[in-house]
Structure 1
Amino acid sequence: MHECLVALISRFFGDCGQKILNFPFLGEIPLLSAVILPLCMVFSIFWAANQHASYAWIGQDILGISLMTTVLQMARLPNIKIASVFLSCAFVYDIFWVFISPLIFHESVMIVVARGDSSGESIPMLLKIPRFFDPWGGYDMIGFGDILFPGLLISFAFRYDRYKKKGILNGYFLWLVIGYGIGLFITYVALYLMDGHGQPALLYLVPCTLGLIIVLGWLKKELEDLWDFGASRPEHSPGEA
């Protein structure tokens, strides 16, 4: 959360992050970090102490989005060859723990972990939002992995478009974002058709993102370049940090 806020504020108010403070034992720390970090710590501690409150989902989602944004800034896929292996493994993993694990453990391990089983204690590794208009209540949930794994591919598409100086319509980024949205929509349709039984979202998201970029690359005759991108050339365009 600290990393995201510092980056966001520095982007719009560049000068505010320039002042440096010298703390005993800690050394030089930017003033912006010295102000924001304690606030983030208070926010996180408040959420942890009140995570069973009706409004706790707001704090969990804010912290979760901050975490995923930071991961997407740090981790990068170099090409779709690596993306294909990575997302294919995640695809099989998701299907196994949702659909096949009940045959071995008599219940879906993924769903039990997400919902916290009978203890009510769940690992906060998902985004959740209340079903406001559902008389039965409950939450709609999506795991971090269902956002991060396709997100890494979408981030790669954005960097590739910038390197190739592609426009928004003739590049890959926009179409992968649309593909992700379609995959998510199909996930919720499947959830409805299966009476609320948890779905492996990557079953639908991987074909709608990885499959889409492969098809588009083949149609544009750029699939070979996408497949080995970064192997023999710098990934960043000149002047890009």
Structure 2
Amino acid sequence: MNQPMSFAWNPEGAEMAKKAGAASGISETGAYEGTITSAIYTFGKDGSQSQALELSFDSNGAKANYLRINFVGKDGQPTFGMGLIYALMWVVQVKNLQPVQVQGEQGTEWTCPNIIGKKAGLFLQKTLYTKNDGADGYRFEIRNVFQPGTRRTYAEHSENAPAEDIAALEASMKDRDERLKTPQHSGPRGNVQGNPYAAQNGVPQSRLQQAANQHTAAAGQMSEFDDDIPF
């Protein structure tokens, strides 16, 4: 016969009480299924025409906030995020997104109530960055959306294809590191690291050697950027 557990207040129990109800956060790149808990429109500042939909998301108690889908760029033109918005509409099964103006903590804001409380699958990529105070921070960016349960994207649904896209992202996509790099310090006397014109072995270079080095460096810069890859 089972015996109920008895409880006695002690230091260990006090520490556990402090953590009661504490929400854990999503902390890794990956695919998550859960519920959209808020959806707020944000707008660019200082002349920018950008617009975004900012989501909060709960995946079985693990939460993520400030998940931005930028669907209009600074120039007012649609971006990659526009497709994510339409794919999200398919996932949550709504045919219209109707913005509603409400009074929020920061004043009047636009929200999208008809997707709040809806189930969705989000593939999130963790991006590391440097905060204004120099400390490390991270945020998440939505890379794809998918149907919970089936894990199919809209592209797979429309082509009647098997669910493979999300698994491929799980296998290939890693954290993105945008942290500021520490500047290189000077090396041995007379030779600054990264300077192709510095003295070699303590012997100053001739003008001919310096000219040759300048030509080599310029050629290297041209080959670095002339790769037909759009920014």
TM range (shorter): under 0.3
Instruction: Give the structure, 1 or 2, with the largest relative contact order (CA under 8 Å, sep 6 or more).
Output: 1
**Greater strand share, structure number:** 2
TM-score by length of 2: 0.21
More helix per residue:
1
Length-normalised TM-score, structure 1? 0.20
